[in-house]
Amino acid sequence: MSDPFFHPVSGFDLPRFAGVPTFMRLPHVPADHPRFKDVQVGLIGVPWDSGTTNRPGPRHGPRQLRDASTMIRAQHASSGMRPFETVNCADLGDVGPNPADIQDSMARITAFYAQVVAAGIRPLTAGGDHLTSLPVLRALAKDGPLGMIHFDSHTDLFNSYFGGTMYTHGTPFRRAVEEGLLDPKRVIQIGIRGTMYDTEDRDFAAANGIRIVTIEEFFERGIADVMQEARAIVGAAPTYVSYDIDFVDPTFAPGTGTPEVGGPNSYQALQVCRELNGLNIVGADLVEVSPPFDQSGNTAFLGVSIMFEMLCAMLTPTKG
What is the model's pLDDT at position 204? Answer: 98
- Residue 12 domain-assigned? no
pLDDT of residue 317: 80
Number of other CB atoms surrounding residue 233 within 10 Å: 18
Mean pLDDT of 111-138: 98
- Residue among 169, 190, 176, 182 at smallest CA distance from 287: 169
How far apart CA 109 and CA 123 sit, in angstroms, is 12
Asked if the structure places residue 261 within a domain, the reply is yes
Long-range CB contacts for residues 14-23, cutoff 8 Å, separation at least 24: 16/70, 16/71, 17/70, 19/70, 21/66, 21/67, 21/69, 21/70, 22/66, 22/91, 23/65, 23/66, 23/69, 23/91, 23/126, 23/304, 23/307
- The span from the CA of 89 to the CA of 237, in Å, is 23
Count of the separate structural domains present in the chain: 1
Across residues 103-127, what is the average pLDDT? Answer: 98
Residue 121 within any structural domain of the chain:
yes
On the question of pLDDT at 320 being above 60, the answer is no
Q: State the pLDDT at residue 200.
A: 97
- Per the annotation, where are the binding residues? 130, 152, 154, 156, 244, 246
- At residue 227, the 3 state secondary structure works out as helix
For the range 154-158, what are the long-range contacts, defined as Cβ-Cβ under 8 Å and sequence gap of 24 or more? 154/192, 154/194, 154/244, 154/246, 154/258, 154/260, 155/189, 155/192, 155/201, 155/202, 155/205, 155/212, 156/130, 156/201, 156/244, 157/201, 157/202, 157/204, 157/205, 157/210, 158/200, 158/201
Exposure pattern of 165-199 as b/e (b: 16+ CB <10 Å)?
eebbbbbbbbbbbeeebbbbebbbbbbbbeeeeee
Binding residues for Mn(2+): 130, 152, 154, 156, 244, 246
pLDDT at residue number 126: 98
Decide if 217 is inside a domain.
Answer: yes
Say yes or no to pLDDT of 1 above 90: no
The answer to the question of residue 133 being in a domain is yes
- What pLDDT is attached to residue 152? 98
Q: What is the pLDDT of residues 15-57, one digit of tens each?
A: 999 999 999 999 999 999 999 999 999 999 999 999 999 999 9
Tell me: pLDDT of 318 over 90.
Answer: no
Please report the pLDDT score of residue 2 as a whole number.
87
Check pLDDT > 80 for residue 237: yes
Closest CA relative to residue 277, chosen from 111, 78, 10 = 78
pLDDT at 249: 98
Question: How many alpha carbons lie under 13 Å from residue 117 in its C-beta half-sphere?
Answer: 17
Model pLDDT, residue 133: 98
Q: Is residue 15 part of a domain?
A: no
Range of the domain at 87: 30-315
CATH number, position 122: 3.40.800.10
Tell me, yes or no, whether 226 lies in a domain.
Answer: yes
Strands 182-192 and 122-127: unpaired
Residue 244 included in any domain: yes
User: Is the model's pLDDT at 319 over the cut of 90?
Assistant: no
Tell me: the pLDDT tens digits for 169-193? 999 999 999 999 999 999 999 999 9
Mean pLDDT of the chain: 97
**Three-state DSSP state, 90:** strand
Q: What is the pLDDT of residues 272-306, one digit of tens each?
A: 999 999 999 999 999 999 999 999 999 999 999 99
Find the mean pLDDT for residues 208-218: 98
